[in-house]
Amino acid sequence: MNVALANAFLDTAIVYGSEHVELEFRRGAPVHPSSVDRIRRALAASPLFQEIGTVETREEYSDGDARRVTWLETGGVDHVYKKRIARVDLSSPGESATVSLETWGPPPDPPATFQVYRKKRRTKWRYRCWEVHITAIQTNDPRFKDGDSEVYDIELELQTGGKELYQYTVDALIKWGHAIFDHLIRDSQTRHNTTA
C-alpha cells in the first residue's frame, strides 16, 4: 500500500505543490450511527485530539472533476476540482486510502451540469498534522436512496501545511495515518460488537 500511495503523493506534490495534494483514509457512507457516536465520544475524551469546529456546505457534483461548493453560513460559492490519483482498499469493505489532486478555480468552461448534491455537516478534530472529519450527509445520490435521512462517513486527512511534512518521510506519514485511522475504526467496531 505505502509504495503506491507515497509515489502518487510525491509525484503530485512535485508537479502541483504540496498544498494541492490530499491524502486521506476514509470509511465511506453509510457508517452505522452507533459507530459514529462512539468515535465522537472517543475523540471528545482523547487528550490528543482537539475539536476545531463544524462546517456546513452544499456540494453539487458534475460528471467530471468539478464540484460547486456553497458555504451555508456565508452563502459564498466556490468551484473545486478534485481528481483521484491513487486509491488503495484497506482491510475492510468500504475503507480506503487515497491520494487526490485538489484545486480551486473559476466555474467550468464549458459549464458543467450539476445533478447530484450532498448537503454536509462536517465536524473536525485535529491532532498535529491530522484531522478527523465526521460528516453527516443528506443527498439525492441514488446509491443511498434506501438509507436513512442522513448517512455518515469518516475521514482522516493529512494537513499538508504542517511541519510534519518536512520532518517525516511520506511513507512514515502514511503508516502513522493508517495506524490512527485503524485504531479509531476498530475501537468503535469492537465496542459496537461487545455492546450490541
Tens digits of residue pLDDT in 70-110: 999 999 999 999 999 999 998 787 899 999 999 999 998 88
For Cα atoms 85, 91, 97, give the angle at the middle one, nearest 5 degrees.
20
pLDDT surpassing 80 at residue 193? no
Residue among 159, 158, 153, 154 at smallest CA distance from 177: 158
How confident is the model over 154-164, as a mean pLDDT?
92
pLDDT given at position 174: 94
More confident: 63 or 124: 124
| Whole-number Cα distances in Å, 171 to 86, 106, 114 | 15, 34, 37
The per-residue pLDDT of the chain, averaged, comes to 89
Contacts 24+ apart (CB under 8 A), 110-114: 112/62, 112/63, 112/64, 112/66, 112/68, 113/62, 113/63, 114/60, 114/61, 114/62, 114/67, 114/68
pLDDT of 190 strictly over 70? no
Lowest-confidence pick of 7-21, 92-106, 134-148, 157-171:
134-148
- In the chain, where are the structural domains located? 2-58+85-99+119-195
pTM: 0.88
Q: Over 90: is that where the pLDDT of 64 sits?
A: no
